[in-house]
């Protein structure tokens, strides 16, 4: 019976590190989670403008990719523009990985917070309340627009 409390402590200590993020967690190819992004964004868009905003915003965001290696991030912006930056990890606290990124002399703080599995959020130090939901995508997956319903065109009157 005296070993039971010790066994519980050992189990808790050995399991705790399994839930914390590691530097390896950020490696790979990431894309914007357009479904999660839309759910967060639509709250700030008037109802009558939501469909137009959705048709404009989501295909652009779906084109974005972030390829993270051990020391670089290559970002593909809408339209195919590439930007390469270097980064160093400043700290890891729980699921949050804070890093400093440098591109063309511009220094930026970012935090990637792991959300379980292949999902995370990415926030800029300048706008900490505005996190972008991202998800891991297959390396060979071409950026593609999500299925967005398109309103039918009006039929011209004769």
Asked if the structure places residue 146 within a domain, the reply is no
Asked if the structure places residue 104 within a domain, the reply is yes
pLDDT of residue 139: 72
Asked if the structure places residue 114 within a domain, the reply is yes
Domain tally for the chain?
1
Asked if the structure places residue 78 within a domain, the reply is yes
pLDDT band at 33 (very low <50, low <70, confident <90, very high): very high
Say which CATH number the domain at 89 has.
2.40.128
* Lowest mean pLDDT segment, chosen from 15-29, 42-56, 59-73, 136-150: 136-150
**Cβ(42)–Cβ(50) under 8 Å?**
yes
Radius of gyration of the chain, Cα coordinates, nearest whole angstrom? 20
Highest-confidence segment of 4-8, 91-95, 152-156: 91-95
Enter the DSSP assignment of 98: E
pLDDT of residue 83: 92
Asked if the structure places residue 149 within a domain, the reply is no
**Taking residues 27-42, what's their average pLDDT?**
92
pLDDT of residue 130: 82
User: What domain range is 126 assigned to?
Assistant: 28-136
The per-residue pLDDT for range 49-86, each reduced to its tens digit, is 999 989 988 898 888 999 999 999 999 988 888 999 99
In 3D, which of 45, 42, 74, 43 has the Cα closest to residue 143? 74
pLDDT of residue 125: 72
Asked if the structure places residue 47 within a domain, the reply is yes
pLDDT of residue 152: 46
**Cβ(74)–Cβ(143) under 8 Å?**
no
* Lowest mean pLDDT segment, chosen from 11-15, 31-35, 69-73, 126-130: 11-15
pLDDT of residue 67: 93
Rounded Cα gap, residues 70 and 106, in angstroms: 20
Asked if the structure places residue 157 within a domain, the reply is no
Asked if the structure places residue 37 within a domain, the reply is yes
The per-residue pLDDT for range 92-119, each reduced to its tens digit, is 999 999 999 999 989 999 999 999 879 9
The model carries a pTM of 0.72
């Amino acid at each position: 019976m005296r070993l039971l409390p010790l066994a519980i402590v050992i189990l808790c200590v050995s399991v705790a590190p399994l839930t914390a993020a590691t530097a390896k967690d950020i490696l790979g190819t990431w894309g914007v989670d357009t479904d999660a992004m839309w759910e967060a964004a639509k709250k700030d868009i008037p109802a009558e403008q939501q469909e137009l905003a959705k048709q404009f915003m989501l295909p652009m965001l779906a084109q974005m990719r972030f390829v993270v290696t051990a020391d670089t991030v290559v970002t593909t912006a809408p339209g195919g523009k590439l930007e390469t930056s270097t980064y160093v990890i400043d700290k890891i606290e729980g699921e949050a990985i804070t890093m400093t990124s440098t591109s063309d002399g511009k220094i930026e703080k970012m935090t990637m917070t792991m959300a379980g599995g292949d999902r995370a959020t990415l926030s800029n130090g300048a706008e900490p309340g505005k996190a972008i939901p991202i998800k891991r995508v297959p390396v060979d997956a071409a950026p593609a627009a999500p299925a967005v319903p398109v309103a039918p065109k009006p039929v011209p009157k004769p």
